[in-house]
A and B are shown apart, each in its own frame.
Chain A
Protein backbone atom coordinates (compact mmCIF):
# COMPACT_ATOMS: atom_id res chain seq x y z
CA UNK A 1 0.00 0.00 0.00
CA UNK A 2 2.79 2.36 0.96
CA UNK A 3 4.64 1.40 -2.23
CA UNK A 4 1.60 2.22 -4.36
CA UNK A 5 1.48 5.69 -2.78
CA UNK A 6 5.19 6.15 -3.40
CA UNK A 7 4.71 5.23 -7.06
CA UNK A 8 1.72 7.56 -7.44
CA UNK A 9 3.55 10.49 -5.85
CA UNK A 10 6.69 9.84 -7.92
CA UNK A 11 4.84 9.53 -11.23
CA UNK A 12 2.70 12.57 -10.56
CA UNK A 13 5.53 14.90 -9.56
CA UNK A 14 7.98 13.72 -12.16
CA UNK A 15 5.47 14.39 -14.93
CA UNK A 16 4.42 17.69 -13.37
CA UNK A 17 7.93 19.11 -13.05
CA UNK A 18 9.68 17.26 -15.84
CA UNK A 19 12.12 15.64 -13.43
CA UNK A 20 13.02 11.97 -13.43
CA UNK A 21 11.20 9.57 -11.14
CA UNK A 22 14.38 8.55 -9.35
CA UNK A 23 14.88 11.73 -7.39
CA UNK A 24 11.39 11.22 -5.93
CA UNK A 25 11.38 7.41 -5.61
CA UNK A 26 14.74 7.05 -3.83
CA UNK A 27 14.00 9.59 -1.02
CA UNK A 28 10.54 8.09 -0.47
CA UNK A 29 11.92 4.55 -0.27
CA UNK A 30 14.56 5.81 2.17
CA UNK A 31 12.43 8.02 4.40
CA UNK A 32 8.90 6.61 4.11
CA UNK A 33 9.47 2.90 3.48
CA UNK A 34 12.72 2.94 5.51
CA UNK A 35 14.71 0.90 3.00
CA UNK A 36 18.47 1.05 3.02
CA UNK A 37 20.04 3.07 0.24
CA UNK A 38 21.39 0.30 -2.01
CA UNK A 39 18.03 -1.50 -2.24
CA UNK A 40 16.28 1.86 -2.67
CA UNK A 41 18.47 2.96 -5.59
CA UNK A 42 18.52 -0.47 -7.29
CA UNK A 43 14.75 -0.87 -7.02
CA UNK A 44 14.24 2.71 -8.19
CA UNK A 45 16.14 1.85 -11.39
CA UNK A 46 13.83 -1.10 -12.09
CA UNK A 47 10.74 1.05 -11.38
CA UNK A 48 12.04 3.81 -13.69
CA UNK A 49 12.52 1.20 -16.41
CA UNK A 50 8.84 0.24 -16.22
CA UNK A 51 7.72 3.90 -16.22
CA UNK A 52 10.06 4.84 -19.09
CA UNK A 53 8.80 1.99 -21.28
CA UNK A 54 5.22 3.20 -20.72
CA UNK A 55 6.28 6.81 -21.43
CA UNK A 56 8.19 5.97 -24.59
CA UNK A 57 5.23 3.99 -25.90
CA UNK A 58 3.08 7.13 -25.52
CA UNK A 59 5.66 9.38 -27.20
CA UNK A 60 6.38 6.91 -30.04
CA UNK A 61 2.73 7.23 -30.90
CA UNK A 62 3.31 10.96 -31.47
CA UNK A 63 6.61 10.47 -33.34
CA UNK A 64 8.59 12.62 -30.90
CA UNK A 65 11.36 10.11 -30.12
CA UNK A 66 14.65 10.37 -32.01
CA UNK A 67 16.24 6.95 -31.77
CA UNK A 68 19.66 8.01 -33.12
CA UNK A 69 20.10 10.62 -30.40
CA UNK A 70 18.76 8.20 -27.79
CA UNK A 71 21.48 5.71 -28.82
CA UNK A 72 24.17 8.42 -28.82
CA UNK A 73 23.50 9.00 -25.10
CA UNK A 74 21.91 5.74 -23.99
CA UNK A 75 24.69 3.38 -25.10
CA UNK A 76 27.52 5.27 -23.34
CA UNK A 77 25.22 5.71 -20.34
CA UNK A 78 24.63 1.95 -20.16
CA UNK A 79 28.41 1.50 -19.95
CA UNK A 80 28.57 4.22 -17.30
CA UNK A 81 25.85 2.49 -15.29
CA UNK A 82 28.06 -0.61 -14.95
CA UNK A 83 30.76 1.59 -13.42
CA UNK A 84 28.31 3.53 -11.24
CA UNK A 85 26.73 0.36 -9.84
CA UNK A 86 30.16 -1.18 -9.16
CA UNK A 87 31.34 2.01 -7.47
CA UNK A 88 28.18 2.05 -5.33
CA UNK A 89 29.06 -1.33 -3.79
CA UNK A 90 32.42 0.04 -2.64
CA UNK A 91 31.20 3.30 -1.13
CA UNK A 92 29.87 3.12 2.43
CA UNK A 93 26.17 3.82 2.80
CA UNK A 94 26.65 7.00 4.82
CA UNK A 95 28.83 8.61 2.15
CA UNK A 96 26.37 7.41 -0.48
CA UNK A 97 23.43 8.98 1.39
CA UNK A 98 25.25 12.28 1.79
CA UNK A 99 26.24 12.29 -1.90
CA UNK A 100 22.62 11.62 -2.85
CA UNK A 101 21.51 14.50 -0.60
CA UNK A 102 24.05 16.72 -2.41
CA UNK A 103 22.59 15.65 -5.77
CA UNK A 104 19.11 16.68 -4.53
CA UNK A 105 20.45 20.07 -3.47
CA UNK A 106 21.99 20.53 -6.93
CA UNK A 107 18.70 19.70 -8.65
CA UNK A 108 16.76 21.98 -6.28
CA UNK A 109 19.11 24.89 -7.05
CA UNK A 110 18.75 24.20 -10.76
CA UNK A 111 14.94 24.29 -10.42
CA UNK A 112 15.11 27.53 -8.43
CA UNK A 113 17.28 29.44 -10.90
CA UNK A 114 15.54 28.11 -14.03
Chain B
Protein backbone atom coordinates (compact mmCIF):
# COMPACT_ATOMS: atom_id res chain seq x y z
CA UNK B 1 0.00 0.00 0.00
CA UNK B 2 2.80 2.35 0.98
CA UNK B 3 4.70 1.48 -2.18
CA UNK B 4 1.58 1.84 -4.33
CA UNK B 5 1.15 5.39 -3.02
CA UNK B 6 4.84 6.08 -3.66
CA UNK B 7 4.36 4.96 -7.29
CA UNK B 8 1.33 7.25 -7.64
CA UNK B 9 3.33 10.18 -6.21
CA UNK B 10 6.12 9.29 -8.64
CA UNK B 11 3.72 9.54 -11.59
CA UNK B 12 2.39 12.89 -10.31
CA UNK B 13 5.97 14.19 -9.95
CA UNK B 14 6.64 13.11 -13.53
CA UNK B 15 3.57 14.90 -14.88
CA UNK B 16 4.64 18.09 -13.06
CA UNK B 17 8.12 17.63 -14.51
CA UNK B 18 6.95 17.29 -18.10
CA UNK B 19 4.43 20.09 -17.71
CA UNK B 20 6.51 22.69 -15.85
CA UNK B 21 10.16 21.87 -16.52
CA UNK B 22 10.99 20.98 -12.93
CA UNK B 23 12.90 17.87 -11.90
CA UNK B 24 10.29 16.35 -9.63
CA UNK B 25 12.38 16.70 -6.47
CA UNK B 26 9.59 18.83 -4.96
CA UNK B 27 7.63 15.59 -4.52
CA UNK B 28 10.48 13.05 -4.48
CA UNK B 29 12.18 14.38 -1.35
CA UNK B 30 9.07 14.47 0.91
CA UNK B 31 7.97 11.07 -0.43
CA UNK B 32 11.37 9.55 0.34
CA UNK B 33 11.50 10.97 3.87
CA UNK B 34 7.97 9.65 4.37
CA UNK B 35 9.25 6.21 3.26
CA UNK B 36 11.80 6.44 6.08
CA UNK B 37 14.93 7.88 4.45
CA UNK B 38 16.91 10.59 6.24
CA UNK B 39 16.86 14.09 4.70
CA UNK B 40 20.39 13.58 3.31
CA UNK B 41 19.60 10.18 1.79
CA UNK B 42 16.31 11.50 0.43
CA UNK B 43 17.99 14.45 -1.32
CA UNK B 44 20.74 12.25 -2.77
CA UNK B 45 18.27 9.56 -3.90
CA UNK B 46 15.94 12.21 -5.35
CA UNK B 47 18.75 13.39 -7.63
CA UNK B 48 19.07 9.87 -9.06
CA UNK B 49 15.28 9.60 -9.53
CA UNK B 50 15.34 12.95 -11.36
CA UNK B 51 17.67 11.58 -14.06
CA UNK B 52 15.24 9.11 -15.76
CA UNK B 53 12.41 11.62 -15.27
CA UNK B 54 14.11 14.49 -17.07
CA UNK B 55 15.75 12.16 -19.62
CA UNK B 56 12.33 11.00 -20.78
CA UNK B 57 10.90 14.52 -20.49
CA UNK B 58 13.72 15.93 -22.65
CA UNK B 59 13.27 13.12 -25.19
CA UNK B 60 9.58 13.96 -25.57
CA UNK B 61 10.19 17.72 -25.60
CA UNK B 62 12.90 17.22 -28.22
CA UNK B 63 10.22 15.55 -30.36
CA UNK B 64 8.02 18.62 -29.94
CA UNK B 65 10.95 20.86 -30.95
CA UNK B 66 11.16 22.77 -27.67
CA UNK B 67 14.66 21.96 -26.38
CA UNK B 68 17.50 24.47 -26.96
CA UNK B 69 20.61 22.39 -26.38
CA UNK B 70 23.18 25.14 -26.30
CA UNK B 71 21.23 27.02 -23.63
CA UNK B 72 20.69 23.82 -21.64
CA UNK B 73 24.41 23.02 -21.65
CA UNK B 74 25.39 26.53 -20.55
CA UNK B 75 22.75 26.73 -17.80
CA UNK B 76 23.30 23.15 -16.61
CA UNK B 77 27.08 23.32 -16.36
CA UNK B 78 27.15 26.72 -14.65
CA UNK B 79 24.41 25.55 -12.25
CA UNK B 80 26.42 22.45 -11.32
CA UNK B 81 29.44 24.65 -10.61
CA UNK B 82 27.50 27.17 -8.52
CA UNK B 83 25.75 24.42 -6.53
CA UNK B 84 29.05 23.68 -4.80
CA UNK B 85 29.19 27.25 -3.47
CA UNK B 86 25.52 27.21 -2.47
CA UNK B 87 25.92 23.97 -0.55
CA UNK B 88 28.85 25.39 1.39
CA UNK B 89 27.09 28.65 2.18
CA UNK B 90 24.03 26.66 3.36
CA UNK B 91 26.15 25.31 6.20
CA UNK B 92 27.17 28.70 7.60
CA UNK B 93 24.25 31.13 7.15
CA UNK B 94 21.08 31.18 9.31
CA UNK B 95 18.82 29.11 7.12
CA UNK B 96 15.34 30.14 8.23
CA UNK B 97 15.74 33.84 7.40
CA UNK B 98 17.16 33.13 3.94
CA UNK B 99 14.43 30.60 3.25
CA UNK B 100 11.76 33.19 4.04
CA UNK B 101 13.46 35.76 1.81
CA UNK B 102 13.61 33.22 -0.99
CA UNK B 103 9.91 32.43 -0.51
CA UNK B 104 9.11 36.14 -0.87
CA UNK B 105 11.21 36.32 -4.06
CA UNK B 106 9.27 33.33 -5.42
CA UNK B 107 5.96 35.04 -4.63
CA UNK B 108 7.10 38.19 -6.43
CA UNK B 109 8.27 36.09 -9.38
CA UNK B 110 4.91 34.29 -9.53
CA UNK B 111 3.14 37.66 -9.55
CA UNK B 112 5.37 38.92 -12.36
CA UNK B 113 4.77 35.80 -14.49
CA UNK B 114 1.03 36.05 -13.91
CA UNK B 115 1.07 39.76 -14.80
CA UNK B 116 3.02 39.21 -18.00
CA UNK B 117 0.80 36.36 -19.16
CA UNK B 118 -2.21 38.62 -18.59
CA UNK B 119 -0.75 41.33 -20.83
CA UNK B 120 0.59 39.06 -23.55
CA UNK B 121 -1.59 36.08 -24.35
Contacts and interface: CB of A to CB of B under 8 A. Distances in A.
A61 to B, nearest CB: 10
Contacts, number: 377
Interface string A83-113: 1111111011110111111111101110110
| Interface size of A as a range | 35 or more
A70 B21 contact: no
B59 to A, nearest CB: 9
Contacts of A107: 26, 103, 106
Interface in B23-54: 23-26, 28-29, 31-32, 35, 37, 40-41, 43-54
B64 A42 contact: yes
Given A12-B85, A80-B17, A84-B20, 20 more contacts: A4-B78, A7-B75, A10-B79, A11-B86, A12-B83, A15-B90, A19-B25, A22-B17, A23-B22, A47-B72, A51-B80, A59-B47, A72-B10, A73-B10, A75-B10, A76-B10, A83-B11, A97-B113, A103-B20, A107-B26
